[in-house]
Structure 1
């Protein structure tokens, strides 16, 4: 599964279970990582994008490449919250999306309330979580796993939808069903 994430701390925490606070925000990074999810092996391909400036919005090619998308902001930075709103509008993804508020351990510096995150997630029609990449390794993993489950559900629906398009609407075809066995039919 291919994911695009907008903050390295969450990605590194998920991949290595370690927290690293300083990153080179000048380049995008790609990672591959395999995990067991509900007993099935899942290969993550993660494109971790870091905008060079608050005015640089991600291109639509990210939403075309990815199977799922994280939009991450810091609860201690109102500008990052406003940025994810603009980023979502520029991406217009037709893929599963999760809005993540990071730095939930820094409530004394909070600039964005949990309610604002929930409201924005409702506007985006996506899941929402607040996590602390610095402290919550399990919660960070849960966010990735939940988005993976959504991607799998999205794929199943798309596959079913493709079958419907190929075979016509559900009422345009019938499943063969024999009420009685052929041997019970009247003989001519």
Structure 2
């Protein structure tokens, strides 16, 4: 009796584990805008101001969003110059993007426009059945005395790119940074639901002879990392 109960309990745990939502996010931005500080602040609530990365860093962590556990896989890119652009493979892997600039560095704001144009080119040459949810973060909001980019400019850019915008300070804000990542996850979920409905419509269209649906290759997945 107790043995059966134990087995049932294990099965319930495994079922709960397998039902966890997962999201893959890539953090992009010019050198020195605070990409890693924002990522670490979100995942651990801690702030570390100085980093010396020579390559992209990848993290995997479970975070509660709207009362439910979500596994976040985050690729924190190591941009060495403003000529560096994300690879097509990385953009294909991602479910969503965090585009970061520093309010104290206008060139980092301009760099985001370059990145966005590159993303559009990649999406055009690598057809996908979904949009790319994004959020724009204007970091270093605590350094307003050095501001080079206004909040209004960030808002206008987000409207042009049809995404959310947050002005934050990784140095002293926890909730605001988390809100930005949470909102991106909600956008990813909304896109997934839309694409699932679109897929169902195409499949049903195929069966009725009205439309033809060609299955594409599934997104490649990165190896698990801690």
Match of 1:103 among 124, 136, 140: 140
Q: CA deviation at 1:26?
A: 2.0
Matches of 2:67 and 2:54 in 1, distance apart?
37
Identify if the C-alpha distance between structure 1 residues 32 and 63 changes in structure 2 by more than 3 Å, giving closer, same or farther. same
Aligned to 2:159: 122
Matches of 1:106 and 1:78 in 2, distance apart?
14
Matches of 1:25 and 1:40 in 2, distance apart?
32
Matches of 1:127 and 1:100 in 2, distance apart?
9
Report the count of equivalent residues. 172
Pair 1:5 & 2:27 matched = yes
Q: CA offsets per residue over residues 74-95 of structure 1, 9 Å max, x none?
A: 0000111111110111122631
Larger CA Rg, structure 1 vs 2:
1
Q: CA offsets per residue over residues 85-142 of structure 1, 9 Å max, x none?
A: 1011112263100011000111000000011111111111111110000011110010
Aligned to 1:141: 178
Aligned to 1:75: 103
Spell out structure 1 runs of 4+ moving beyond 3 A: none
Q: Unaligned 5+ residue runs, structure 1?
A: 174-188
Aligned to 2:43: 15
Q: Which range is displaced more, 88-97 or 129-138?
A: 88-97
Is contact 2:101–2:108 with CA below 8 Å preserved after alignment? yes
Q: Unaligned 5+ residue runs, structure 2?
A: 1-22, 29-34, 124-130, 211-226
